[in-house]
Amino acid sequence: MKQLSRISPKIIISGGGTGGHIYPAIAIADEIKRRLPDADILFVGAEGKMEMEKVPKAGYPIIGLPIAGINRGNLLSNFSFPFKLIKSLNLASKTVREFQPDIAVGTGGYASGPLLKRASKRVPIVIQEQNSFPGITNKLLAKSAAAICTAYEGISQFPQEKVHHTGNPIRAELFQNLPERNKAVESFGLNPEKTVILSVGGSQGSRTLNNAWIEGINELEKNNVQLIWQTGKLEYQKIKEQTAKDVEGIHISEFIYNMQDAYAAADIIVSRAGAMAISELCLIGKPVILVPFPFAAEDHQTKNAKSLVDKNAAIMYKDDEVPLKLVNATLDLAQNENHQKELSDSIKKLGKPHATKEIVDIILNLI
């Protein structure tokens, strides 16, 4: 291996469209910069998508491609797709030619397709797959990849000789040294002597979870169970007005900025099953009930959740089961300490605290 501490490698990182692709990319970049402060890192994303805002805020330059995803629900709207793809491939070629990277890294999302396709003709490429079922872009790039870093074992769609089961790149230190539980509970205005449920519906919230808690909040109160409830922006005001005046033992927030305190306060967590959320939950090690978002691409959230359920590391309910089952299932789990311990012990075994380090090891060894 080269003495990388003495050189300034040039690295392109591409991925985006959602936070699930962007934040792993930023975590990888941050770890490279921590080791090699002089490394020259360039991001490539999709014009108009959230990476064009999030990446510069993290301190990295980014170039946007005019690429867009295929709209499966309205095929006529895809008329311009071939033109955007050709334009994106040409701009990707120009970017690779001018930047002259030593390696290219993709974290999924359609923006990474044109860039990594063009980069693979010149340099090694590494792809990172967050989900238990790979997205279209990473499946198409797999044959060209020098290495494939996965969060889950046994992904049959990839050439196994290239696969490294690393876990997802997250800032693990944020989820390992949690604050003391009772102080965290009090910070939400709740009673440390009562059970606390944390409900997380993703950055936009979950209408399914919100409706379940609206219907069941009085049952939680009767059973001395409290709720930290992340509603999302759209329904926050309505829920605040409907419930906060009448019910004690709930903390309602449209978005939870200090997840460390929320995770520390929780005795049980109810969550969607996005890849990055699950990676965090495995490090936290609390009992979890997962409700996969049914409209995720390739139904990957259900596959993510099942990978935990099969190892007795989580309970899962489908979206359409939630209205009848979620509240009672949560109360049953709150009263069953043995089941809580089983779930907690099992999910802790799946945590990958060194994922980011291992992925960057692979990247730097390929340069």
DSSP string across 266-330: -SEEEE---HHHHHHHHHH---EEE---TTSGGGHHHHHHHHHHTTTS-EE--GGGHHHHHHHHH
What is the three-class DSSP state of 180? coil
Q: Which two tokens stand for residue 217?
A: 């909040």
Residue labelled with tokens 């970017």:
95
Amino acid at residue number 134: P
Residue set of the binding site for UDP-N-acetyl-alpha-D-glucosamine? 18-20, 131, 171, 203, 256, 301
Dist. CA 131–CA 115, nearest whole Å:
21
Strand (E) or helix (H) holding 89: helix 81-99
What is the three-class DSSP state of 135? coil
**105 Cβ contact partners less than 8 Å away, ≥ 6 residues apart:** 11, 12, 13, 14, 25, 28, 125, 126, 127, 128, 363
Q: Listing from the earlier edge strand, what are the strands of the sheet with 268-271?
A: 250-253, 225-230, 195-200, 268-271, 288-290, 315-316
> Please, are residues 182 and 192 in contact by the beta-carbon 8 Å criterion?
yes
Structure-derived torsion over alpha carbons of residues 298, 299, 303, 305, reported in degrees to the nearest 10: 150
Q: Which two tokens stand for residue 352?
A: 């990958």
Q: Listing from the earlier edge strand, what are the strands of the sheet with 103-106?
A: 62-65, 40-46, 10-14, 103-106, 125-129, 147-150, 163-165
Q: What angle do CA 315, 130, 11 make, to 5 degrees?
A: 160
Residue set of the binding site? 18-20, 131, 171, 203, 256, 301
Strands 103-106 and 147-150: unpaired
Residue labelled with tokens 């975590």:
27
